[in-house]
Amino acid sequence: MLASQATSANPNDTIGGDPTAKVGASAPMTVPETLILYFETLSRSLGPMRWWPARTPFEVIVGAILTQNTSWSNVERAIANLRRGNVITLRAMERISAQRLAQLIRPSGYFRQKAKKLKAFTRFLRRDFGGSLPRMFRTPTGVLRERLLQVHGIGRETADSILLYAGGHPTFVVDAYTHRILARHGLSDGKPDYERVRALFERHLPQDVKLYNEFHALLVNVGKNWCRPREPRCHNCPLGPFIAFAAQPKSRLAEVESIL
């Protein structure tokens, strides 16, 4: 189903090499076809990821800030503290002192800085949108993204996580796992250039929130379980059948670069 939805913005683009060699097809694949093939392969292997694990959009935002530079298990402990303290609402987070907030989120690491970031977001939401998340998320995607990026402590990955997972905006979230997997599969030059990688997905996939939501979550799963920084476990990774593509000559990567 999804293969037919692949965008035809650049139908003649190829990503070079022959990633289909091990999956039975014969012609070189376009970038959209390849991305969709990866997505469908992961979906079949791993099933629905059901992200983001949160009870409310506000909690998604809190989690997106807390997950910076730490593992999700640490975030879960911090969020459990916030829940116990009834602090995962805008009003409660406005009222609590930064010091107390920092103590509650201590398990997530960098807790003093993150308390300041959470406070900065609450001020932004109150000042610019009267404290209303629905109002905030009615802002056009590009405009809201720029405004979020002006808030202390919100970088690209955090802004895109907020847009996609809390607001349902069609923006692709890129992280270290995404960079590593694309680089190893010859789909990027290995430089962790956030905007170029985001463009790769957004220009070549349908603007589909569910697809972006699921695809990012699947890549995270692969990154955590197989695509380790050292000694990737390609032999039993769901993307293992495509890894031969990574051995293509560097010059083929220029084709990918040329379409970005």
Residues near ligand SF4 (CB under 6 A) are: 181, 184-185, 222, 226-227, 232-234, 237, 239-240, 243
Closest to ligand SF4 by CB, 62 vs 243, is 243
Report the distance separating Cα 38 and Cα 74, nearest Å: 30
Which residues in 36-46 are b (16+ Cβ under 10 Å) and which e?
bbbbebbbeee
Instruction: Specify the residue, 101 or 237, whose C-beta has the smaller distance to ligand SF4.
Output: 237
* 3-class state of residue 218 by DSSP: helix
For ligand SF4, the closer of residues 236 and 251 by Cβ is: 236
Name which of 135 and 228 has its Cβ closer to ligand SF4: 228
Give alpha helix (H) positions in the chain: 31-46, 57-66, 72-84, 90-95, 98-104, 111-129, 133-137, 141-149, 156-161, 176-184, 194-204, 209-225, 250-258
Instruction: Provide, rounded to whole angstroms, the least separation between the CB of residue 243 and ligand SF4.
Output: 4
Q: Do residues 159 and 200 lie in contact, with contact meaning Cβ atoms separated by under 8 Å?
A: no
Choose between 42 and 148: whose C-beta lies nearer to ligand SF4.
Answer: 42
> What secondary structure does DSSP assign to 117-161, as a single string?
HHHHHHHHHHHHHTT-HHHHHTS-HHHHHHHHHTSTT--HHHHHH
Sign of CA dihedral 251, 156, 198, 108: positive
User: Measured from the CB of residue 177, what is the shortest distance to ligand SF4 in angstroms?
Assistant: 9
Least distance to ligand SF4, CB of residue 147, Å: 34
Q: Provide, rounded to whole angstroms, the least separation between the CB of residue 44 and ligand SF4.
A: 15
Q: How far is the CB of 188 from ligand SF4 (least distance, A)?
A: 13
| Shorter beta-carbon distance to ligand SF4: residue 46 or 90 | 46
Q: How far is the CB of 192 from ligand SF4 (least distance, A)?
A: 16
